[in-house]
Amino acid sequence: MLVPRITTLLNRFLNTKQLKQIHGLILIHGVNHLESLVIRHLITSPSDYSQTIAHYIQLILSHSKQPDVLSTTSAIRYFCNNGGFQQAFNQYVQLQRSGFLPSTFTVASVLKACGRLGDENGGIMVHGQVYSYGFCGDVYVETALVGFYTKLGDMMNAKKVFDEMSDRNVVSWNSMIDGYLRSGDLSMAERVFSGMPEKDVVSWNSMVSGYSRTGDMEKALRLFREMPERNRSSWNAMISGYVECGKIDLARNFYNSMPERNTISCITMIGGYSKCGDVESACELFLEMAQPFLKRRIAYNAVIITSEKCKNQR
């Protein structure tokens, strides 16, 4: 009866302390195959990702007497999706040592981790395994390879993988654009952008930002006006570009026209005003940004004062 009871408990919402208590029961009674349910609970928990949880998952996997490929691969994707890139790579190495065959999604995740870590040797090792596992031709793996090489700034190998792809998705195209822009090759980024069969808002934003960073606001504005869809990043790229060019009035026009501003928009404008010595406008925007917080603080203070008065009257 113990296994069904533990399984039922693990399907409920549990905090970390309760989960560790149940894990203790699993170890004491030797029902180690249920550890995979503990990992699944941790991975699917609505609570925020933390190093404590990541470390706990690693401990379970490294000490498990009955490791399984599903738990390990799920953990790798979980680490990678939450910024735990070193944990993802370490777990992938452990997966190799256990003799398990990774899935295409696992390989794609670990390539992303290597790119973010700047781990050239690790990524090249995984690239070699792509051939031995027969994953060549998988769009997710090849897209991850393009992303890995562009993150390293190795556009020669990125282009080689990209050119050999039989099926390209928008992510692979965007990775190439981003890679060329970060390496300073605006003309190649333009060629890739022009050749895209289908562009998304990320593609457009990348090129607008690329023109803005080089100070070519005429091309940035032309592209901005052609965009079929815009988001806050689109507007912020234009604001930032005009600020860097010293055209603060044009930046302010875009700021005022934004359908929805965010903190980045405001901070960019404050920095622009500060740079050109317009302290008054900078302070005005700062107060405008801080006003919602100040209003909330005043409201909280009013509630506290009212509560204190009520206590004193009793």
One pLDDT digit (tens) per residue for the chain, 314 residues: 678 877 887 777 777 788 788 888 888 878 878 788 888 888 877 677 788 888 888 888 888 777 788 888 999 999 999 999 999 999 999 898 888 889 999 999 999 999 999 999 999 999 999 999 999 889 999 999 999 999 999 999 999 999 999 999 999 999 999 999 999 999 999 999 999 999 999 999 999 999 999 999 999 999 999 999 999 999 999 999 999 999 999 999 999 999 988 889 999 999 999 888 888 888 888 888 766 654 445 434 433 443 454 455 55
- Cβ(131)–Cβ(107) below 8 Å: no
Helices 170-182 and 155-164 pack at an angle, to 10 degrees, of 160
- Name the CATH architecture for the domain at 199-314: Alpha Horseshoe (1.25)
Residue 103 CA to residue 78 CA, distance in Å, equals 14
Q: Which of 195, 154, 157 is nearest to 173 (CA)?
A: 195
Query: pTM of the full predicted structure?
Result: 0.81
Topology of domain 68-183, CATH: 1.25.40
97-106 LR contacts (CB < 8 Å, sep 24+): 98/67, 98/72, 100/67, 100/69, 100/72, 101/69, 101/133, 102/69, 102/73, 102/133, 103/73, 104/135, 104/138, 104/140, 104/141, 105/73, 105/77, 105/140, 106/73, 106/76, 106/77
Residue at token pair 């149940």: 22
- Cβ(234)–Cβ(224) below 8 Å: yes
CATH 1.25.40.10 in the chain is located at 68-183, 199-314
